[in-house]
A and B are shown apart, each in its own frame.
Chain A
Amino acid sequence: MSEEHAGGTAKKFLYVNRKAPYGTIYGLESLEVVLIGAAFEQDVSLAFLGDGVYQLAKGQDTKGLEVKNFSPTFGALEDYDVTKLYVEEEALQARGLSAADLVVPVEVVDTRRMAEIMEDQDVILSF
């Protein structure tokens, strides 16, 4: 795989977000990798599975938790040319959410399609 990318061709990076935005630091530190990684001009996608879909939920208020609400940062991803955001349909439905409840436009895909997207990647970072 490294040979075919030796000429500087971009690899396909997928960041898989599986955890709720607060309670653990995984969501925030995953987003930090995405922002730093953007400078490397790779072919980047983000996937949100399970409780990870809550990271994109509108109306987050973290004042009582005394931690930073990082959901507005997802709105800035477009400026970093990160525009492929896939959200698992079953995860949204199980939590009573729809695409309209999310802070950014996403592509809602079922678990089968999500598996195909994963299959198509070179590098998967799961948090």
Chain B
Amino acid sequence: MKFSILVNEGPYTHQASDTAYQFVKAALAKGHEIYRVFFYHDGVNNGTRLTVPPQDDRNIVKRWSELAAQHKLDLVLCIAAAQRRGLMDKSEAKRNGKDADNIAPGFRISGLGQLIEAGIQADRLVVFGA
């Protein structure tokens, strides 16, 4: 089956991102396809490479980046939600006159249309959080 995933909550405060990650990993292990993982609301905070969790805790952002590299996942941060919350890639930082970017490897920033398209293309869209 072809799944799309929507993550609506940030890392550490809510379990949504953890559960979404475990779901994606399990689905891939069963041979399913993940069409896209879309991060919305505070969920965009899952895409900052500046996160530094304690060493005895899981690294939620790094975990997503590694899974993306391993399975060529499409991890998309909503641009409107990202701009509100200070998530930037190089070109967004430049366009908005900011002095830094913070997007983690494997993530990209794009529009809400990518969420709608993910719903259209997948057999199931599964929402985590909110």
Q: Give the B-binding residues of A (Cβ under 8 A).
A: 1-2, 5, 11, 13, 19, 25-26, 29, 32-33, 36-37, 39-40, 42, 122-127
Contact = CB atoms under 8 A, between A and B. Distances in A.
A33 B116 contact: yes
B81 interface: yes
Nearest to B123: A1
B41 A125 contact: no
B116 A37 contact: yes
B112 A32 contact: yes
Interface string B96-130: 00000000000000011101110111111101001
Dominant SS among interface residues on chain A: mixed
A126 B127 contact: yes
A36 B41 contact: no
Contacts of B6: 125
Contacts, number: 57
A36 B116 contact: yes
B130 A26 contact: yes
Interface of B: 2, 6, 8, 40-41, 80-81, 111-113, 115-117, 119-125, 127, 130
Contacts of A36: 111-113, 116
Contacts of A127: 8, 41, 130
A42 B120 contact: yes
Contact of B41 (A11, A13, A25, A123): A25
Given A29-B81, A125-B119, 19 more contacts: A1-B124, A5-B120, A11-B120, A13-B116, A26-B130, A29-B40, A29-B41, A32-B80, A37-B115, A39-B113, A40-B113, A40-B117, A40-B120, A42-B120, A123-B120, A123-B125, A124-B125, A124-B127, A125-B127
Q: Which 10 A-B pairs have the closest CB atoms?
A: A123-B119, A36-B112, A37-B116, A40-B116, A1-B123, A123-B125, A127-B130, A33-B112, A126-B127, A2-B123
